[in-house]
Amino acid sequence: MAEQIELLTEADTVRFGESLGRELSAGDLVLLSGPLGAGKTVLTRGIAAGLGVSGRVSSPTFVIARVHPAGERGVPLVHVDAYRLGGDLAQLDDLDLDTDLASSAVVVEWGEGSADRLSSDHLVVRLERRPDDVRVATLEPHGNWRPRT
C-alpha cells in the first residue's frame, strides 16, 4: 500500500531521508523516481546522514555510482544515478550492484524499470514537485520490502 508524505521544505526532505536511512541495513534497495529537480539527491543526502556514512553526497550523474564508506552503523551506501544509462541493462550489470547489495544499502536515482530487477524486495520513492514547490513523496514497497533493522 502506497503512503504519501508532504515535504514542505528542503530540510523536510533531508529529515525524511534521515529517518529512512536510520532504518536501512545492508541488502536494502531504494529506488528514487521523479523529474529533474524533484529532490532525489537531497533525499539521498538525508539517507546518507541517517546511515551515518562518510563523504559528501552529490549527484553521481557523471560517475554513475558513488560508494560512501560505512560509519558507526557499519552499513556503506552505494548511490547510483541511472539517468545516463538510459535503460541500458548491460551497463547496469557492469556496475555489479547485486554484489554491492549484499553488503550495502543501495539507493538508485532513476532506477525504476531497470534496477528494480536487483531485488524483488525494494522500496520505490516517487517524488513529485508541485507548482507551490512542495514535494510529495509516495512510498511504494514491493515484494516483502521492509527495512532489515
Helices (H), 24-63: 40-51
Mean pLDDT on 56-73: 75
Q: CA-to-CA distance for 147 and 149, rounded, in angstroms? A: 6
Q: CA-to-CA distance for 132 and 84, rounded, in angstroms? A: 29
pLDDT > 60? residue 94: no
For residues 7 and 17, the answer to whether their CB atoms sit within 8 Å is no
Beta-strand (E) ranges in 1-62? 3-7, 29-33
In this prediction the pTM is 0.86
Paired residues of 66 in beta bridges = 79
CA 137 to the chain's CA centroid? 12
C-alpha cell at 19: 529517518
* 77-81/29-33 β-pairing: unpaired
pLDDT tens readout for residues 102-135: 788 999 988 777 677 778 899 999 999 999 999 9
pLDDT > 70? residue 62: no
Calculate ∠ Cα 120-58-117, nearest 5°: 15
CATH architecture of 14-126: 3-Layer(aba) Sandwich (3.40)
